[in-house]
């Protein structure tokens, strides 16, 4: 993982501490994704929220360069992560603290991992066309919300749980306690994103990123 130029030390430390917590307290999948990101050349940006219009956003550093590499090379997932950036809003860290930072990198980290899988599979599509990985926006957001909810349950602190309940990512039952709320996640995706599995799955990852197969 590498940082964009000019990032203030407090933001850099927050990101580094966030990844350390994910590695220390996350589940196996969360740890695996965090480790892959840390070992890659994925770019981290910290920008004002007015520039990225979100708490965090994931995309390609240069779509043209990525498509050139897809055409000319076979990219591993680790190499593909080097084509990707995650931008986190300054305000996410300023107001959300470590909870906001960790949550953003768990959620956006899942997007980065899925985008890297897409890039890698596209670079191999001439010999493995049936192995192309190109999820819809609904599928991308479903997995990102699931991993976020699972992380909240792993941390199990009140502020994390309350956020999850408020976002409908988590549910609470007298007998079961807190749980990943699949129905709530789908309701959130429908109401906040306009997405559902059948009627509006949204564009595929390749369309979002502007990728071309070999």
Distances (CA, A) of 16 to 2, 3, 124: 11, 10, 33
Answer for the pair 57, 87: CB distance below 8 angstroms, yes or no: yes
Question: pLDDT tens digit string along 97-129?
Answer: 999 999 999 999 999 999 999 999 999 999 999
Question: pLDDT tens digit string along 163-205?
Answer: 999 999 999 999 889 999 999 999 999 999 999 999 999 999 9
User: Domain-by-domain residue ranges, the chain?
Assistant: 1-133, 136-208
At residue 94, does pLDDT exceed 90? Answer: yes
- In percent, the amount of the chain with pLDDT more than 90 equals 97
In this prediction the pTM is: 0.96
Answer for the pair 36, 113: CB distance below 8 angstroms, yes or no: yes
* Angle between helix 90-123 and 158-166 (nearest 10): 70
Give me the chain's average pLDDT, please.
97
State both tokens at 107: 């959620």
Q: Which stretches of the chain are DSSP H helices?
A: 9-25, 28-39, 49-52, 63-72, 77-81, 90-123, 137-155, 158-166, 182-193, 205-209
Question: pLDDT tens digit string along 46-59?
Answer: 999 999 999 999 99
Distance CA 113, CA 34 (A): 9
């Amino acid at each position: 993982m590498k940082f964009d130029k000019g990032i203030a030390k407090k933001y850099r430390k927050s990101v580094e501490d966030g990844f350390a917590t994910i590695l220390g307290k996350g589940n196996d999948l969360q740890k695996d994704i965090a480790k892959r990101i840390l070992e890659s050349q994925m770019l981290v940006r910290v920008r004002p929220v007015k520039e990225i219009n979100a708490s965090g956003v994931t995309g390609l550093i240069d779509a043209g360069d990525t498509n050139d590499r897809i055409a000319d090379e076979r990219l591993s997932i680790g190499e593909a992560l080097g084509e990707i950036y995650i931008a986190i809003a300054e305000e996410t860290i300023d107001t959300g603290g470590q909870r906001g930072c960790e949550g953003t990198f768990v959620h956006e980290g899942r997007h980065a991992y899925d985008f890297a899988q897409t890039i890698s599979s596209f670079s191999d599509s001439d010999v493995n066309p049936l192995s192309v990985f190109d999820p819809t926006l609904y599928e991308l957001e479903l997995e990102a919300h699931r991993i976020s909810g699972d992380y909240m349950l792993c941390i199990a602190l009140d502020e994390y749980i309350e956020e999850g309940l408020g976002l409908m990512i988590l549910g609470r039952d007298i007998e079961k306690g807190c749980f990943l709320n699949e129905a709530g996640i789908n309701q959130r995706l429908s109401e906040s994103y306009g997405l559902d599995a059948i009627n509006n799955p949204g564009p595929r990852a390749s369309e979002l990123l502007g990728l071309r197969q070999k």
